[in-house]
Amino acid sequence: MAGDSPYTVKWGILATGGIAETFTKDLLTNPAIRDVSDVKHELVAVASSSSADRAADFVKRVDGLSSVKAYGSYAELVADPNVDIVYVATPHSHHFQNTMLCLEAGKNVLCEKAFTVTVAQAKKLVDKAKEKNLFLMEAVWTRCFPLSIKVRELISSGAIGTVYRTFGKLVFSITDTLACPAADLSFGKANPDGSLDFPDTNRMVSLDLAGGALLDLGIYALTWVFQSLYHVQPEASKEAPKVVSAINKYKTGADEQTSIICQFPQHATMGIATTGMRVATDPDGQKTAGAAIRIQGSEGEIQVLHPAYRPTAYRVIKKDSDGKVEVVDCPIPTDPQRNNWGHGMFWEADECARCLRDGKKQSAFMPWEESVVIMDVMDQVLQQGSVTYPALITTDVYDAKSPLNTGNQ
């Protein structure tokens, strides 16, 4: 239980790329900006697989304290007794090996999405966390937003009646499509010559880094399908969906456009998740294209506005609303003491802190079982679309000396 003084969690950051920086800056904001006083966060160590200098540069970039340890290997980070929990911020390809490295060393873990490359890897991580009695959570930060909590409450309280269908789409593109009239989230990433605006070695499209739309972006469309049609169901009646999907591949072999139907026959519900890097929902960047997610019930509809991964508004349209739409803004707070920084990842950090404080090994927002079921869906989709990743990143055999852990890959 919470005492008078906040429970402090000491974080270690594994990798020094884009999202590691964003997350760490959120960690360092004052919890008071989001009305939080029961937990707080301390950055104690950062590791880069490239060099200790790179880790030290990272600490400077995020304006961390000079006492923060800067390591030149992931192994040193997980051996640091001062670290309570490690945030794994490497590409998807690395998550299984890196998270295992942490768990084997006795560290609690918050691991970036997508949790793993295969469902077998996800199950092994969960088994290891159980065996070691450690906290483990897939970092689907959107689930920890007050907006998500509110939407889940609305669904559970019957605000839109019985929910039958959810549309969710997350796309990187420059053009919209007639093929998906419902929901969307997009960025302009298609070049006039037909290529995508990433080098073939970039983690978005490289098979070596488990690239592709599904694992990077489609997971958010699935997040909303699962939050609305699965998560809110009583434990006893939860059913894994039947999955029908289609994939268009990019020249690298990764999926560039993917559509998924999740059918929950016992509940008579369906979730339609689409993702891609070639079609757009928000082509003008002005959110004029409308809802990113549509959750449709017998008495009305909840629409979550673009972007699906970091939404700041939703609306409720009741069947008998007579043209009136309730629009609810949920802005992300910023910290005036830290250059008005605030991205929204602090809510998942707070959730981790509360779980650690309360001795919980998993978060109710993103339970292990749900991470595994979603990985199973994505695994099936990749198989249905014949996307094949290299053995190095699909193996579910842990290897402390894997190049994915030592940084030679």
Q: Token digits for 281?
A: 């929902």
Angle subtended at Cα 392 by Cα 385 and Cα 205, rounded to the nearest 5 degrees: 50
By DSSP bridging, strand 69-71 and strand 242-249 are unpaired
CA R_g for the chain: 21
Under DSSP, is residue 353 helix (H, G, I), strand (E, B) or coil? helix
25 binds ligand NDP (CB under 6 A): no
Query: Phi then psi for 120, rounded to 5 degrees?
Result: -60, -40
CA dihedral 109, 110, 114, 118 (to 10 degrees): 20
Mark the segment that binds ligand NDP (CB under 6 A) among 13-21, 76-84, 115-123, 328-336.
13-21
Helix (H) or strand (E) holding 14: strand 7-14
Choose between 91 and 297: whose C-beta lies nearer to ligand NDP: 91
**Residue 50 touches which of ligand NDP, ligand LJPVP2WV, none (CB < 5 to 8 A by kind)?**
ligand NDP
**Residue 17 touches which of ligand LJPVP2WV, ligand NDP, none (CB < 5 to 8 A by kind)?**
ligand NDP
> Please, what is the minimum distance in Å from the beta carbon of residue 357 to ligand NDP?
23
- Per-residue mark of binding to ligand LJPVP2WV, 196-235 (x: CB under 6 A): --------------------x-------------------
**Distance, CA of 350 to CA of 333 (rounded, Å):** 14
Choose between 15 and 317: whose C-beta lies nearer to ligand NDP: 15
Is 384 buried (19+), middle (13-18) or exposed (0-12) by CB count in 10 A? middle
Candidate residues 9, 11, 13, 15; the one interacting with ligand NDP per rule CB under 6 A: 15
Candidate residues 26, 112, 301, 351; the one interacting with ligand NDP per rule CB under 6 A: 112
Residue number of the CB atom closest to ligand LJPVP2WV: 309
309 binds ligand LJPVP2WV (CB under 6 A): yes
Cβ distance 271 to 262 under 8 Å?
Answer: yes
282 binds ligand LJPVP2WV (CB under 6 A): no
**Distance, CA of 390 to CA of 400 (rounded, Å):** 18
Query: Interface with ligand LJPVP2WV by CB under 6 A: which residues?
Result: 216, 309
The footprint of ligand NDP (CB under 6 A) covers 15-20, 48-50, 54, 89-92, 94, 112-113, 141, 203, 209, 216, 309, 407, 409
